[in-house]
Amino acid sequence: MPRYDIVTIEGDGIGPEVAQAAIRVLREAVGENVLHFIDAPGGAAHYARSGDVLPDETLRLCRESHAILHGAAGLPEITYPDGTEVGNELHLQLRFKLDLYANVRPIKLLAGVGSPLAARETIDIDYVIIRENTEGLYASRGAGVVLRNEFATDTLVVSRKGVERVARFAFNLSRKRDGAPRDGKRRVTVCDKANILRSYAFFRAVCQEVAGDYPDVEIDYAYADAITVHMLKKPDFYDVIVAENMFGDIISDLGAATVGGLGIAPSGEVGDTHGLFQGAHGSAPDIAGQNAASPLAMILSGALMLDWLADKHADEALAGAADRIRQAVATSLSEGHAIPRDLGGSASCTEVTDAVCRALG
C-alpha cells in the first residue's frame, strides 16, 4: 500500500510534461508502492472550461493529501475581466489558503552546468533562499486602492508571528543542512531595507530576537540592493538567506539565474501542515507540447518534496531517495549526453528524463 498521497496539479503549458517527468523519476527512485499520485485539475485552461482556477475538490484533495506536486499554471490569453492573468491565482490561493509560509529556493550550482558568473569553475554556490510567502507586500494583493486614476496605494504588512515562524524555519534549516559557506559557519542572512522602512526594521528586529535561540548560527544582515551585488561577487559566503515576500521573489529568481536559470531551479512552499512543490519556472506555453521543456527544475522539486516528507514523517528511505535523485541529475548533467535546451544542449524533455532514470537505475 502506498504510504503517501501526492496530489498532482499538472496545470498549463509545459506543466503536464514536466510533472509527468518528475513522477517517473520519483517512482524510479522510491519504488512502486510508496507514492500514490492523484491527478487534480486547476489552472488557466481549467478556468476557461469551468470558471474555476482552483476547484473546491482540488483544494480538498490538497488539504487531505501528504504533499502537492504542481507543474505550472498560466496562459497569456486567459485573463480576468480586469486583464490580469488567471494562472497565478492557482498558486497564490494555495499559498494563502494552505498557509505555505516558507518558500524554499535552493541555489546550488551543479557540476556540468554553466553559471553566467565568470569564475564558475572555482565558485562553490550552495545556499538556500527562504522567502516569506504569506505576507509582506503580497498581503495587499487584490486590496490596493486606485483613487480617481491619480493615485494608487498598496500596503506592506509585516507581522511578528509571520516573521518569527519564517525566521525559525531559516535558522532550523541552517542547523540541519549540509552545505555551508566557504568559512564553514552556519549563517542566516536577513535581507531587508531596515535603513528605509519601519516594516523592514521590524522584520530585522524580529529575526534578531529569534537568532537569540540559535547561538550556533551566525546572524548577518544585507540590504536588498546590496545583496544582489554580493550574490554575484561572493555567492560562497551564503548559507541561508531569509527575506520578506517581495524581496524574496526578486532575489530567488536572481539566485536561480546564477546557477543555470529557472529551468533548473526547484521550489518548495511549505507550512506547518502542507507542502507544494514545483519548478521555479512558468508554464512556457510557447514551447508546450513540443517535448522541448527541461524537466530538471520539476525533478529537483520532487526531490525537495521527498526531503520534506522524510523530515515530517521521519522516513529515512525517502531522504535517501531524494539524495539519489539529485545525484542522478548531477551525473546525467556531467556526462553531458542529455543537456536540456535551456542549458545549451539539445535533449528533449523525455531524453533528459530517460537519462536521469538511467543514472538512478
Ligand X SMILES: CC(C)[C@H](C(=O)O)[C@@H](O)C(=O)O
Q: Which residues bind ligand X (CB under 6 A)?
A: 88, 91-92, 196, 225, 249
Instruction: Using the minimum distance from each CB to its own copies, give the nearer residue, 34 or 298.
Output: 298
- 8, 103, 189, 252: residue in contact with its own copies (rule CB under 8 A): 252
User: Which residue's CB is nearer to ligand X, number 249 or number 307?
Assistant: 249
Binding mask 15-44 for its own copies (x = CB under 8 A): ------------------------------
C-beta of 213: minimal distance to its own copies in Å? 18
Q: Which of 3, 27, 120, 185 binds its own copies (CB under 8 A)?
A: 120
State the Cα angle at 265 between 127 and 129, rounded to 5°.
Answer: 35
Q: Does 250 bind its own copies (CB under 8 A)?
A: yes
Site size toward its own copies (CB under 8 A) is: 62
CA distances from 5 to 48, 86, 185, 205, 302 (A): 28, 27, 37, 39, 14
Give the 3-state secondary structure of residue 336: coil
Q: Which residues pair with 70 in a beta bridge?
A: 9
Q: Does residue 205 contact residue 234 with C-beta atoms inside 8 Å?
A: no
Is 96 a residue that touches its own copies (CB under 8 A)? no
User: What are the residue numbers of the active site?
Assistant: 138, 193, 225, 249, 253
At 95, list the grid cell. Answer: 499559498
Residue type, 64: E
Nearer to its own copies, 38 or 246 (CB): 246
b/e sequence 3-27, b meaning 16+ C-beta within 10 Å:
ebebbbbbbbbbbbbbbbbbbbbbb
By a kind-dependent CB cut-off of 5 to 8 A, residue 111 interacts, out of its own copies, ligand X, none, with none
* Binder of residue 232, out of ligand X, its own copies, none (CB less than 5 to 8 A by kind): its own copies
- Cβ-closest residue to ligand X? 88
Calculate the CA 311 to chain-centre distance: 17
CA-atom Rg of the chain in angstroms: 20
Kindly give, in sequence order, each residue whose CB lies less than 8 Å from that of residue 255, ignoring residues fewer than 6 positions away.
105, 107, 127, 129, 231, 265
Q: Is 256 in the site for its own copies (CB under 8 A)?
A: yes
Q: Are 206 and 167 in contact (CB under 8 A)?
A: yes
The smaller minimum CB distance to its own copies, of residues 160 and 182, is found at 160
Give the one entry of ligand X, its own copies, none that residue 190 binds, where binding means its C-beta sits below a cut-off of 5 to 8 angstroms depending on kind. none
From the list its own copies, ligand X, none, partner contacted by residue 91 (C-beta under 5 to 8 A by kind):
ligand X
> Does the protein bind its own copies through residue 287 (CB under 8 A)?
no
CA atoms of 55 and 57, how far apart (whole Å)? 5
Nearer to ligand X, 209 or 225 (CB): 225
* Region class of 69: left (phi > 0), else alpha (psi between -120 and 50), else beta: beta
CB atoms within 10 A of CB 190: 27
Q: For residue 287, what is its C-alpha cell?
A: 514551447
Q: Which of 110, 262, 264, 325 binds its own copies (CB under 8 A)?
A: 262
Q: Within positions 157 to 176, which residues make up the interface with its own copies, using CB under 8 A?
A: 157-161
State how far the Cα of 289 lies from the Cα of 268, in Å rounded to an integer: 25
Closer by beta carbon to its own copies, 247 or else 308: 247
C-alpha cell at 253: 529568481
Phi, psi of 269, deg, nearest 5: -125, 115
138 binds its own copies (CB under 8 A): yes
149 binds, among ligand X, its own copies, none (CB under 5 to 8 A by kind): its own copies
Residue 10 has φ and ψ, to the nearest 5°, of: -70, -40
Q: Which does 278 bind (CB under 5 to 8 A by kind): ligand X, its own copies, none?
A: none
The distance of closest approach from Cβ of residue 327 to its own copies in the complex, given in angstroms and rounded to an integer, is 26
Q: Which residues bind its own copies (CB under 8 A)?
A: 84-85, 88, 114-120, 137-138, 140-142, 144-146, 149-161, 193-203, 224-226, 228-229, 232-233, 246-247, 249-254, 256-258, 261-262
